[in-house]
A and B are shown apart, each in its own frame.
Chain A
Amino acid sequence: EIVLTQSPATLSLSPGEGATLSCRASQSIGTYLAWYQQKAGQAPRVLIYDASNRVTGIPARFSASGSGTDFTLTISALEPEDFAVYFCQQRSNWPRYSFGQGTRLEIK
């Protein structure tokens, strides 16, 4: 089973600052990684797929990189609506999927 570990668990920042979120896989998953954003009371929304491809309609301030076991989601110049929980997901051992435990991005 591939385990995804996200860090930090909580990130406290102010609007306008940049955010860097990490997701580490227990074994290589190539670029089979997606990032989701979940706001309180809402379903998750996909932001990034295949490690670095932004989904249509997602603002350019969201970017991501990585391959193998180490992945990063970067949000430049945080907007108030960006404060949410972020999850990574892998499908490398298809058809078994798994999610990271999440990073809560909160307003400082």
Chain B
Amino acid sequence: EVQLVESGGAVVRPGGSLRLSCAASGFTFEDYSIHWVRQVPGKGLEWVSIINWDGSDINYADFVQGRFTISRDNSRNSLFLQMNSLTAEDTALYYCAKEHDSGWYLDSWGQGTLVTVSS
């Protein structure tokens, strides 16, 4: 069974930093592109970033503006999101999600980790 488990969410002050993790199991992690998607509770989904299977191809949503860094460690079946210069607008539930093996859509999601940026 595919499992994605996010962790690292916390309350952080504006301007602060946080590192999110996503632990994967139940599939061959190194074969898949993985995404981060966020959601303000009660609001819509917002795509954040994608990293391909070996980390050689990475992209971010425009709002990231150089503040976030996605990375992965295939030896540990883990995905990361380093977030710097956080603002209140970054407050959200952050999901990691796996792409389907024969397509681009997101076929498995974690349960999310909550990031709250507040003074």
Binding site for B on A (CB under 8 A): 1, 32, 34, 36, 38, 42-46, 49-50, 55, 87, 89, 91, 94-102
Contacts and interface: CB of A to CB of B under 8 A. Distances in A.
B47 interface: yes
Interface stretch (B8-16, B76-84, B100-108): B100-108
Interface in B31-57: 35, 37, 44-47, 50, 57
A89 B50 CA distance: 14
A87 B97 CA distance: 15
Interface residues of B, number: 23
Interface string B74-117: 00000000000000000000010100100111110111100000
A46 B57 contact: no
Nearest to B62: A1
B59 A46 contact: no
B111 A43 contact: yes
Contact of A34 (B62, B105, B109, B110): B105
B46 A99 contact: yes
Contacts of B112: 43
SS class, residues of chain A in contact with chain B: loop
A96 B61 contact: yes
Contacts of A42: 111
Contacts of B110: 43
Contact of B103 (A43, A49, A99): A49
Given A36-B106, A49-B103, A99-B45, 7 more contacts: A34-B106, A43-B110, A43-B112, A87-B44, A89-B45, A94-B104, A96-B61
A100 B46 CA distance: 9
A97 B50 CA distance: 9
Contacts of A38: 45
Most chain A CB inside 10 Å of its own CB: which residue of B37, B95, B100, B103: B103
